[in-house]
C-alpha cells in the first residue's frame, strides 16, 4: 500500500511521513514544489536510513499513484488541491487531517464554523467518488517528529465507509503508542476537528509542547 501525504512538507505531514516510514510503510511526500518534496524525502532517509521507502512528488502526481491519500494541508490551501486531484482519487480512500482554525487577536485559536459541518464533510462533497475518512486531527506535529518517544494519543477515525474506516484505524496503529478509536460516521468529525483548538489552548496554558487525548473505559 502506497500512502501519499499531500502537503507533506509541513510539520504535520512530515511527522506522519516519518512515523509511517519508521513503521515500514511505502510513503510519498507531496508538495506544490517538486524541489521541496524531494528535499523532504531526502530528510526522511537521512533520519531513518537510506533503505526507507519514501519519494517526493508534486501533490497531483502523488495522488495519482498512491493507494491512500492523506490531506495534510492548511484549510486555506485545501480547495485548489481538491480540484486538482478530483479525477485521480476516484474509488480511493482519502483522509482529511485538516482542522478549520483561525487565530484571534492575542493568539488564541478558535474553530471556524463551516456550512458543511466539518472539513471532512466538505471534502466528501467535493470528492463524491472517493471514500472519505477523518483522522489524525489531535496528534501534534511535535509529538510525531520526536521519533525517540512514543506518541501517547488516541486517534479518532470517522467515516461513512466501514472498510475505509477500518483500514485507517489499522494504519493509525502503525504509529507507536497510538490507539485508534472508531468515531462513527463522518458527521462526527466536526466534534473531533474542534477538539484541536482546545488542545492548542491547553498546551499554552500548561506550557507543554503537546497534549493528546486518551479515552478511558474503552476496552479494545
- SS3 state of residue 77: helix
Grid coordinates standing for 172?
493509525
DSSP 108-147: -EEEPP-TTSSHHHHHHHH-TTSEEEE--TTS-HHHHH-T
Domain presence at residue 215: no
Q: Look at residue 107 and tell me whether its pLDDT is greater than 70.
A: no
Domain presence at residue 99: yes
The 10s digit of each residue's pLDDT in 165-192 is: 999 999 999 999 999 999 999 999 999 9
Q: Look at residue 159 and tell me whether its pLDDT is greater than 60.
A: yes
Domain presence at residue 211: no
Q: Which of 13-17, 105-109, 141-145 has the lowest mean pLDDT?
A: 105-109
Cα–Cα distance measured from residue 99 to residue 85, given in angstroms and rounded to the nearest whole number: 20
Helix/strand/coil (H, E, C) string of 172-206? HCCCCCEEEEECCCHHHHHHHHHHHHHHHHHHHHC
Segments in 23-97 forming alpha helices (H): 34-48, 59-65, 78-85
Cα–Cα distance measured from residue 123 to residue 79, given in angstroms and rounded to the nearest whole number: 9
Confidence class for position 105, pLDDT limits 50, 70, 90: low
Span 204-208, average pLDDT: 88
Residue, of 205 and 127, whose pLDDT is higher: 127
The model's pTM: 0.94
Domain presence at residue 188: yes
For position 165, which CATH number holds? 3.40.50.720
Domain presence at residue 214: no
Domain presence at residue 212: no
Domain presence at residue 210: no
Q: So what's the pLDDT on residue 119? A: 96
The domain tally of the chain equals 1
Domain presence at residue 219: no
Span 54-75, average pLDDT: 97
For residue 148, with 0-12 CB atoms within 10 Å meaning exposed, 13-18 middle and 19 or more buried, which class applies?
Answer: exposed
Parent domain of 133: 2-205
The rounded mean pLDDT for the chain is: 94
The 10s digit of each residue's pLDDT in 111-123 is: 788 889 999 999 9
Amino acid at each position: 500500500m502506497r500512502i501519499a501525504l499531500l502537503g507533506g512538507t509541513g510539520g504535520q505531514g512530515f511527522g506522519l511521513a516519518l512515523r509511517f516510514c519508521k513503521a515500514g510503510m511505502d510513503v510519498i511526500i507531496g508538495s506544490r514544489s517538486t524541489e521541496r518534496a524531494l528535499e523532504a524525502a531526502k530528510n526522511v532517509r537521512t533520519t531513518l536510513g537510506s533503505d526507507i521507502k519514501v519519494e517526493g512528488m508534486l501533490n497531483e502526481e502523488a495522488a495519482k499513484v498512491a493507494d491512500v491519500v492523506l490531506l495534510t494541508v492548511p484549510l486555506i490551501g485545501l480547495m485548489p488541491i481538491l480540484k486538482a486531484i478530483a479525477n485521480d482519487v476516484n474509488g480511493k480512500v482519502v483522509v482529511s487531517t485538516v482542522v478549520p482554525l483561525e487565530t484571534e487577536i492575542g493568539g488564541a485559536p478558535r474553530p471556524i464554523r463551516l456550512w458543511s459541518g466539518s472539513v471532512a464533510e466538505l471534502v466528501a462533497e467535493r470528492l463524491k467518488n472517493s471514500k472519505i475518512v477523518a483522522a489524525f486531527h489531535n496528534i501534534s506535529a511535535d509529538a510525531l517528529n520526536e521519533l525517540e518517544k512514543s506518541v501517547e494519543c488516541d486517534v479518532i477515525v470517522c467515516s461513512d465507509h466501514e472498510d475505509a474506516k477500518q483500514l485507517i484505524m489499522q494504519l493509525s496503529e502503525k504509529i507507536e503508542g497510538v490507539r485508534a478509536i472508531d468515531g462513527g460516521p463522518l458527521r462526527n468529525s466536526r466534534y473531533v476537528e474542534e477538539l484541536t483548538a482546545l488542545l492548542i489552548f491547553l498546551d499554552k496554558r500548561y506550557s507543554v509542547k503537546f497534549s493528546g487525548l486518551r479515552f478511558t473505559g474503552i476496552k479494545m
